[in-house]
């Protein structure tokens, strides 16, 4: 699943390529994906792209006051080309006056793509209620502290709960916790002030560096970049050696998700027990 670094790169490259482009026609392919009817999509014809934006997995094009918001779930794509998107998996196409086509497509068998046309992205139900984005200038140590103080989760659960903070998912949260030297099972409301500061620095550092590296990787193309295993410190590297201490990276299941961590760096050497399995044994 793409997260903040991947989708920021997509959003920035869309802005670069589409600045000033004018919509000639809108072709909806999937009626089920279109979540708004008023205004009709044809309201975009003749409008210029004035910007792009993103919150969590919602990416939008701004067209002189209207926002075409797309939710990019697993397999969702936004592409830019000179032909309509392939019929299979096509959700929507914006034909531009200069002949280019912005395509929204989704792969796989699950049909989860969703598109809204609104005058304010906050009117999209999933966007309203999202927590702050960790790379926003307003995301200070104090803001993080107040999110953590709400408790009610493991630290890993809190980082990936989009209502607490948005944009961080299962993959990058593993690396954020590793750099912060914190256990995924730590209680968020019990962190010491220096641990909160460390977690803040790690969020900003890991996500900012990932965004920079992924931007270089795709060289301005309108695609969702994909980080390779060697770009992660611990995520997806269970069984390999930790770059920092040489210990063997472990993984643990929390509900339906696999979390990777380094025992020496993060849990004082303790091996964490699967939470899913312990529930079955009880």
Binding site for Zn ion (CB under 5 A): 242, 244-245, 247, 262, 264-265
Q: Of these residues, 3, 62, 106, 133, which one is catalytic?
A: 3
Active site residue 57: yes
| Nearer to Zn ion (CB atom), residue 180 or residue 265 | 265
What SS3 class is residue 38? coil
Q: Of these residues, 198, 257, 258, 275, which one is catalytic?
A: 257
Q: Of these residues, 6, 54, 55, 57, which one is catalytic?
A: 57
Count of all residues that appear for the chain in the document = 282
Judge whether 130 and 97 are in contact, CB under 8 Å: no
Output phi, psi for 158, to 5 deg: -70, -40
| Nearer to Zn ion (CB atom), residue 92 or residue 177 | 177
| Nearer to Zn ion (CB atom), residue 93 or residue 242 | 242
Active site residue 257: yes
CB of 118 vs Zn ion, minimal distance in Å: 45
CB of 113 vs Zn ion, minimal distance in Å: 39
CB of 28 vs Zn ion, minimal distance in Å: 50
Distance CA 106, CA 75 (A): 5
CB of 55 vs Zn ion, minimal distance in Å: 33
| Nearer to Zn ion (CB atom), residue 45 or residue 240 | 240
Task: Taking each helix axis as running N to C, give the angle between helix 193-218 and helix 141-149, from 0 to 180 degrees, rounded to the nearest 10.
Answer: 110
| Nearer to Zn ion (CB atom), residue 77 or residue 250 | 250
Burial of 264 from C-beta contacts in 10 A (0-12 / 13-18 / 19+)? middle
| Nearer to Zn ion (CB atom), residue 32 or residue 245 | 245
User: Looking at the chain, which runs of residues are DSSP E strands?
Assistant: 23-28, 49-55, 58-63, 66-71, 76-81, 90-96, 101-106, 114-118, 250-254, 257-261
Distance CA 48, CA 96 (A): 9
Neighbours of 19 (CB within 10 A): 12
CB of 262 vs Zn ion, minimal distance in Å: 3
DSSP H helical segments within the chain, as ranges?
Answer: 4-18, 141-149, 155-160, 170-179, 193-218, 263-266, 275-281
Which residues neighbour 281 within 8 Å (Cβ) at sequence distance 6 or greater? none
Distance CA 95, CA 261 (A): 46
Q: Which residue is nearest to Zn ion (CB)?
A: 242
CB of 182 vs Zn ion, minimal distance in Å: 12
Catalytic residues: 2-3, 57, 257
């Amino acid at each position: 699943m793409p997260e903040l670094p991947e989708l920021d790169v997509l959003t920035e490259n869309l802005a670069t390529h589409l600045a000033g482009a004018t919509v000639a026609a809108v072709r909806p392919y999937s009626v089920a994906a279109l979540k708004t009817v008023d205004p009709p999509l044809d309201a975009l014809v003749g409008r210029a792209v004035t910007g792009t934006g993103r919150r969590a997995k919602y990416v939008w094009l701004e067209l002189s006051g209207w926002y075409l918001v797309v939710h990019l779930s697993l397999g969702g794509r936004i592409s830019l080309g000179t032909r309509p998107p392939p019929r299979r998996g096509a959700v929507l196409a914006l034909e531009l006056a200069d002949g280019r086509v912005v395509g929204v497509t989704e792969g796989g068998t699950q049909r989860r793509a969703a598109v809204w046309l609104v005058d304010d992205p906050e009117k999209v139900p999933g966007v309203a209620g999202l927590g702050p984005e960790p790379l926003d200038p307003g995301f200070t140590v104090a803001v993080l502290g107040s999110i953590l103080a709400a408790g009610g989760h493991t630290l890993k659960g809190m980082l990936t709960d989009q209502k607490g903070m948005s944009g961080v998912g299962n993959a990058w949260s593993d690396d954020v916790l590793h750099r912060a030297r914190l256990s995924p099972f730590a209680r968020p409301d019990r962190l010491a002030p220096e641990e909160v500061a460390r977690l803040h620095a790690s969020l900003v550092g890991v996500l900012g560096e990932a965004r920079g590296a992924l931007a270089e990787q795709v060289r301005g193309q309108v695609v969702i970049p994909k980080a390779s295993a060697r770009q992660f410190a611990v995520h997806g590297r269970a069984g390999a050696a930790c770059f920092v201490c040489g210990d063997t990276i472990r993984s643990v299941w929390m509900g339906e998700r696999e979390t990777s961590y380094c025992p020496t760096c993060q849990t004082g050497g303790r091996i964490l027990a699967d939470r899913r399995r312990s529930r079955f044994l009880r």
